Structures are given as C-alpha cells and as structure tokens.
Structure 1
Amino acid sequence: MATVLSVSGSPSPTSRTTRLLRHVVDARLTAHGHEVVALDARTLPAAALLSADFSDPRLIETARLFAEADGVVIGTPVYKAAYSGLLKALLDVLPQYALAGKTVLPLATGGSTAHVLAVDYALRPVLSSMGAAHITQGWFLLDRQVGSDVDGSTVLEPEAAAQLTPVVDGFAEALEHRRVPVLTR
C-alpha cells in the first residue's frame, strides 16, 4: 500500500483541523491499508520557517517526508478566505516540485460557509504549482461539524461524515491506482 503524509497547517494545539485529519487517518486511510505519517506544521521551528533556513535539520527532515510519501493529505483552517499563514510558510520552504508525482487531498475547516471556496481558489492552485500529479476532490467542513467525544476521540456530525467518506475513499482509491514511474536505463 501507499505511504501518506498527513499535514496539519493549523497553528493551534487544539485544532479542529488536526482532529479532522486524525479522523480521516484513523477512520478511513488506515482501513484501506495505507501507512500514514503525521506532520503538524506548528511543531516546526518558526524561525527556520520564517527565515527560509533550508539548512535547518527539521526542515530537511520535513522535505524528506514529502519526498518519500506517495500521497499527501493537507489540512488547513481557513482565515481571511485563504489557507493558514503557517501552511504557506511551510509550503514556501519546500522544494518547488515537492508534490511531483503525488496524489493530494486538500481539506479545510472554517467558521462560515463564506470560506467554502478556499480549497479550490486558494489552496488547489498552490498544490498544482508544486507539481501534484493528481489533486483529488477537496472538502471544507464547518468548525462546528468537528467535535470530540468524552474520551477525546474525534466526532463528526453525521451529515458531514457521510459527505466526507466518499471524498476520502476517492483519495484512497486514487492512491491505489496511482501510476508508479518506470525507471529505464
């Protein structure tokens, strides 16, 4: 199966975006047999991100995670009709074609349906410019649709879960049918 990098672009340690990503990983991707590596951008060194310190060991390791992944799930909260500045800073320090050959699933959370187009009009063009081979249908969820149970596990409103399931399954299927480059001499 494929290796998937799950990237949270949220600056918050109690992020609904991160909870959504963990739900997607636990409820769907591992069920499809994919190995998932989680990356919370907020744990990367801010000074290295903001100064584009390409020699920082954590940023070198992050670039390696992207290079080794077959697929990438990118989650972001939406602020001011766009993806987070933290996610932007991370994408800016990655190699230009860090997503080349990758299947990508963009996900976003926000407080209002006014931000629903941020996935397609703000995030998708950046992912495309980074060489993503296939960007599957993305999805936007309202913050209030993502909650937690008494045990801390993520709970989605039933309608949101029903709508998200085919989106994530489509990503998983795209990973299974991805074209693996054939190397010739």
Structure 2
Amino acid sequence: MAVIATVSSSPSSSSRTDAVLADVTQRVQRAGHVVVPIVLRDLPAQPLLHGHADDPDVAAAVSALDVADAVVVTTPVYKAAYSGLLKTFLDLLPQFALQGKVVLPLATGGSPAHVLAVDYALRPVLASLAPSAITPGWFVLASQVSLFDTGEAVIDEPAAEALREVTDVFLDAIAGAFLLTAPARAAAGSQAVA
C-alpha cells in the first residue's frame, strides 16, 4: 500500500479538472492505496503568493507531499500552460521535493491545441523536482467532462478509457518502485524493532 498525494490546482470548486482527479482517485483507492488530497485553492493566498512555506497550512501541504510515495498532479490549462496556482505551489517546494516519488501528470483544457501542455509545460517543471519516474500523463478536453447541478460528473468513454490506461501505468510504476525498495524498507523496519 502506497500513500499517494493528489494535487488539485484548479481555482474553481466545481471543475472538470477535479472531476478527472476524482475518477483517478477512485481507481487508486480501489487498488488499495491511501490518498492524501492537497487542494491548492484552499491554501491561504497571502502566504502562498509570498512563498511562506512556514505558514501552517502551506507547511501541512508540503509535508503531505513529502511523506507521499507517489503524486498525482492535476491542472487546468490556461494560455497553453499549467495553472498559476500550481506554479506558485511548485515554486515554494524544495529542489528535490519529488525525489523517490512516482508522478502522474493530468491536465484539462478547452482546446486540443493545448494537448502538448502536459509534456512541454508541466513535465519539465515536475522533472526539475527529481522524481524517480514521471509516468505518461493525459490531457482531457473540457468537452469530454460533463458537470451537473447535482455535483455529479461524467467523463466520456474515450477519455475515461485513456485515464484508466494512464492510471494503470502509474499503479504499475508504484508497484515496481515498492519492489525495488522492499529490501531497504525491510532493513529500516528491522532496525526500528532492534
């Protein structure tokens, strides 16, 4: 069982980006992993914008990321790039904040013209934080996610299938990371008992 931090960077409380994240979160939980949500819009704006990582709420978000084994990062795409909210949060992280973690990048946007934002805008900044792996991400068109007044969201089957596939690759990468680190985890556990 892994601890997976999910980073929601949509400024809107009812967003297609969060609907995509909810879908992936359910798949991850069904696989037996613990999910720790980090909702950036809920962090206090002043400390976040000023890079005050010592603010209790901001520090709690950074700590949740630090203890996670893997991370799902979601963002709406604006102006062909990830959200400013996400940029602000990533900027205050330590240089190796994702070291040893498997990362799944996901984005939503209104136009297929922004499909490359995952690989050409988001992936490089995530890579700069030194994750052990960034699995293939996915871009979901806003038109593929229907939001209803009841709060329910429905993802079109082609997008849902693609999300299943990238989530499966992410889960396989986590399993592989756990297999590679099992001897180290076992050694750490036996030292703690001694």
Range of TM-score over shorter length: over 0.9
1:148: Cα distance to partner?
3.5
Offset from partner CA, 1:73-108 (integer Å, 9 cap, x none):
000000000000000001011111110000000000
Shift of 1:36: 0.6
1:22 alignment counterpart: 22
If you compute each CA radius of gyration, which structure gives the higher value, 1 or 2? 2
How far has the Cα of 1:153 moved from its partner? 3.0
Tell me which amino acid in the other structure corresponds to 1:5.
A
Pair 54,149 (structure 1): closer, same or farther in 2 beyond 3 Å: closer
Q: Percent identity?
A: 50
CA distance in 1, matches of 2:151, 2:23: 11
TM-score (norm 1): 0.94
Q: Which has the higher helix share?
A: 2
User: Which amino acid in the other structure matches residue 131 of structure 1?
Assistant: A
Q: In the aligned structure 2, how far is the partner of 1:105 from the partner of 1:51? A: 27
Match of 2:36? 37
Aligned partner letter, 1:180:
T
CA distance in 2, matches of 1:144, 1:115: 13
Shift of 1:109: 0.1
Unmatched tracts of structure 1, length 5 or more: none
Measured after TM superposition, the shift of residue 169 of structure 1 is 0.8
Inter-partner Cα distance in structure 1 for 2:91 and 2:116: 22
Q: Which moved more, 1:136-145 or 1:55-64?
A: 55-64
Contact between 1:63 and 1:95, CA under 8 Å: does it hold in 2? Answer: no
Matches within 5 A, 1:151-162: 151-162=150-161
* Equivalent residue letter for 2:120: Y
The offset of 1:164, in angstroms, is: 1.6
Could you tell me which amino acid in structure 1 is paired with residue 174 of structure 2?
Answer: L
Whether contact under 8 Å (1:11, 1:42) holds in the other structure is yes
Aligned to 2:171: 172
Cα distance in 2 for partners of 1:159, 1:54 equals: 40
The aligned residue for residue 110 of structure 1 is 109
Q: Which residue of 2 aligns with 1:119?
A: 118
Deviations 1:129-182 (A, max 9, x none): 001110000000001111236753331101111122111111011111113283
1:40 shift after superposition: 1.0
Q: 8 Å contact 2:21–2:74 — kept in the other structure?
A: yes
1:77–1:109: 8 Å Cα contact kept in structure 2?
yes
Equivalent residue for 1:49?
48
How far did 1:62 drift? 1.1
The number of residues matched between the two structures is 184
**Worse-matched range after superposition: 151-160 or 108-117:** 151-160
User: Are the equivalent residues in 1 in contact too, given 2:11–2:41 (CA < 8 A)?
Assistant: yes
Aligned pair 1:140/2:139, yes or no? Answer: yes
Name structure 2 gaps, 5 residues minimum: none
1:54: how far off? 2.1
Q: Is residue 21–residue 75 contact of structure 1 (8 Å, CA) maintained in 2?
A: yes
